[in-house]
Amino acid sequence: MIRLGSRRSPLALVQARTVAAALAAAGHQVEIVEVVTTGDRDRAAPDKSKWVSELERGLLAGEIDLAVHSAKDVPGALPDGLALIAASAREDPRDVLIGAPSLDALPEAATVGTASLRRAAQLRAARGDLRIVEVRGNVDTRLARVHGAADATAGDPDREPVDAIVLAAAGLQRLGRTPA
């Protein structure tokens, strides 16, 4: 039995199930072991290892045999004894704007959310008037913040509605949340 470690987020589990299905098709029995990471408990933790440190510890302790994770959150240096051994086929690399048909369609000084420094820089370069805010959480949590659909609480920046968000097309496709 291969114990495959994954975070509990819906997107992480979709990715883990894809790997588990490929391993099962090759004749292996697979159990997905859900792991809660520091990033799941404390989104303000300062570095990328917050999303993988518990997976790494589980691998090193022999609690899991493999771990599936998004490469964007894996630190550049891995602990001794660990290696990246495979990568799945690349999905759609584009970004998707949710909440407006285009950046030009957004009103002046619109609020746009993203969790990506790269996307924030691109948004500022394209439209200097936009107010860019950090939007964290799983995909459904982020989607709920568009147009005030979230349970907005005055003064809580983690629940503030936004006019639009920018997300990875691949994540939306994997979750079946592609925009109409």
Q: Residue 142 belongs to what domain range?
A: 95-174
C-alpha Rg value of the chain to the nearest Å: 18
> Are residues 35 and 67 part of one domain?
yes
Q: Alpha-carbon distance 107 to 130, whole Å?
A: 9
> Are residues 123 and 57 part of one domain?
no
Residue at token pair 């099962």 = 24
Structural domains in the chain (count): 2
Residue 122 resides in a domain: yes
Structure-block tokens of residue 10:
């819906």
Q: Where are the beta strands (DSSP E) in 103-173?
A: 111-114, 131-134, 164-168
Beta carbons of 143 and 168 less than 8 angstroms apart? no
Residue 43 resides in a domain: yes
Among 21, 42, 73, which residue terminates a domain? 73
Which of 146, 149, 113, 106 shows the shortest CA–CA distance to 129? Answer: 106
pTM of the model: 0.74
Residue 117 resides in a domain: yes
Structure-block tokens of residue 117:
């420094």
- Please pick, among 73, 92, 95, 158, the residue that the annotation labels catalytic: 73
Q: What is the tens place of the pLDDT at every residue in 99-141?
A: 999 999 999 999 999 988 899 999 999 999 999 998 887 888 8
The enclosing domain of 160 has a CATH number of 3.40.190.10
Residue 29 resides in a domain: yes
- 73 belongs to the catalytic site: yes
Q: What is the tens place of the pLDDT at every residue in 4-61?
A: 999 988 888 999 999 999 999 999 999 999 998 776 676 665 566 677 888 989 999 9
Count of C-beta atoms within a 10 Å radius of residue 113: 26
Give how far the C-alpha of residue 144 lies from the chain's centroid of Cα atoms, to the nearest Å. 15
